Structure formats: structure tokens, C-alpha cells
Structure 1
């Protein structure tokens, strides 16, 4: 049975392992060399999970850790959503996303925001299915990976039309998955 709960500090290493496994699967799909980036990514996940465990929600299946998500600064920006590859496609990501969005709404925000790798078609498709739209494309330097990353920013309005549309924010079809 699926359950969502807050993380605890003793789980940092296991949560980092989940994040790394999900990240490796995703980047291999678009042909990236995971081995080249693995050690830096491993350190970054462990550092994040050690520092930010109070901001992490965990998905469990029958008591086994299956995934996690975070809204690191308790604002409207979802920083992480990771599900172990063997649990992907079983509703873990959906349950985590819904619970994180509930927290964002409870904090009084009209939107939820996130970003993902521009080549992560699976994640973009998932988020679009839940009402997110691509707002912008950008390139940013990732200190943990020591390289530039192509990303898309996505946004979801909880009550469409509740905030004024931004000029030029409409999709041009580039990421219409």
C-alpha cells in the first residue's frame, strides 16, 4: 500500500540513493554519460538529503522507500521529485506531486513552479498531464555537476486565470509532448 509521510534524518543516504537511481535512468534515456557525472551527482544528492530532510516528503510502498519530493524553501518551487525506477508508473510520483502541491496551496500560493532538464521528455510530459505548462527555456550552470544544463521552467496555476498572464509566456509548441 502507498503512503506519503515526512522524511527523517536517518533516511538521508537511502533518499540520496533513490534520487541518484532515478536521475541516472532519466539522463541515460537522452544519451548522457551517467558514469561521467555519477560521483558529483551522488555527492549532491547526499548533501541535499542531509541538509534538507525536513523539507522532503517520502513515498513508501508497503513500508519500502519508493520515492521522494521536496519544496526546499517552503515556497511555491518544487525542487525535487524522484521515484525509484522499479516503482515508476505506479502512482508514486503522482501521489508525491499532489501532496507537495497541497502544501504549496496551504501556504497561500496561487501557483506551483518547477524546472527540469529540457531533454527530460518523460518529466515534461508527466507535469503537463497535471496542468503544468512550459514557461521558459534557460541554460544554467550546475555547480555539483560542473557543467551547463539546458532546462525548462514549468508553472501550474491552481485556479487558471487567477493571476495575470505574462506576455510572451505562451508555449510555441517546442515542448508540446
Structure 2
């Protein structure tokens, strides 16, 4: 059973491990050499989770920490959504996203924004199914990974009432 709650400082190290495991699974799926980037990624997850745990929501499955998400600047930009690979496919990412979107709406924003790696087909498919559309393709330098990263920016307009079929019209990432 899914439960979502605010993180606490005692969760930080476990959340960092979840983020790293989900990242490794995602980059491995598109053929990236995770070992080459692992040390930097591991340090980044640990740093983020220990410094910004007050901005993190935790997903638990039957009492086990299983995922987390964050909108770290309390604006309309979702910075993180990670689900432990062992718990994927159970609706945890969807549940976290819905709660984060609710917070964004409460802050008065008309839309939610996020970015994901341009080759992360699983994430793009999930976000499109939940009403997001691809807004832009961009290449940004990642200080954490010390390299350029191909990303897609995605947006979900809360007031449009669009269905997932409507959103396939963007012609990009028709997955």
C-alpha cells in the first residue's frame, strides 16, 4: 500500500541510495556507462538528500522507503522524481507526481514543469500518460556529471483539460 509523507533527516541516506539506483537503471536502459559517472552521481544524490530533505516527499510501500520527489524551490518546477527499481510499476511515481502537482496548484501556478534525459523513454512515456507534453529539447551542462546532458523540458497545464491522446500531437517522442 502506498503512503506519501514529508521526508525527515533520518531518511536522507536511504533516499540517496534510491535515487542512485533509479538513475543507474535509467541510464543503463539507454546504454550509458553508469560506472563512468557513478561517483559524481552518488555524491550528488547524497548531497541533495542530506541538504534538501525538507523539500522532499517520500513514497513508502507497505512501510518501506520506495521513492521520492522534490520541488526544491517551492515553485512550479519538479526537480526530482525517483522510484527504487524494485518498486517500479506500482504507481509510486504517479502518486508522488500527483501530490507534488497539488502543491504547485496550491502555490497558484497554472502548470507544472520538469526536465528529464532525452533518452529516458520510460519517464517520458509516464509523463505523457499523466498529461505532460514536450515543450523543448535542450542540451545543458551538468556540474554534477561534468558533461553536457541532452534533456527534454515537459509541461503540464492544469487548466487545459487535455487528454493523453491530445498531447500526442507534439510530434516529439511519440512514445
TM range, smaller chain: over 0.9
Moved over 3 A (4+): none
**1:176 paired residue number:** 174
**1:20 paired residue number:** 20
Q: Deviations over 1:70-121 (max 9, x none)?
A: 0000000000000000100001101100000000001111000000000001
| 1:172, distance to aligned residue in structure 2 (A) | 5.0
Number of positions where the alignment pairs a residue of Structure 1 with one of Structure 2: 169
Q: Deviations over 1:118-153 (max 9, x none)?
A: 000110000000100000000000011111000000
**2:133 paired residue number:** 133
Distance 2:173 2:98 in 1: 23
Query: Is there any run of 5+ residues in structure 2 with no aligned partner, and where?
Result: 162-167
Distance 2:116 2:35 in 1: 20
| 1:62, distance to aligned residue in structure 2 (A) | 1.2
Return the TM-score normalized by structure 1: 0.93
Alignment of 1:1-177 (within 5 A): 1-160=1-160, 172-177=170-175
Return the TM-score normalized by structure 2: 0.94
Query: Is there any run of 5+ residues in structure 1 with no aligned partner, and where?
Result: 162-169
Distance 1:126 1:53 in 2: 25
| 1:2, distance to aligned residue in structure 2 (A) | 1.1
Distance 1:36 1:45 in 2: 16
State the SS of the aligned residue for 1:175.
Answer: coil
RMSD (Å), alpha carbons = 1.3
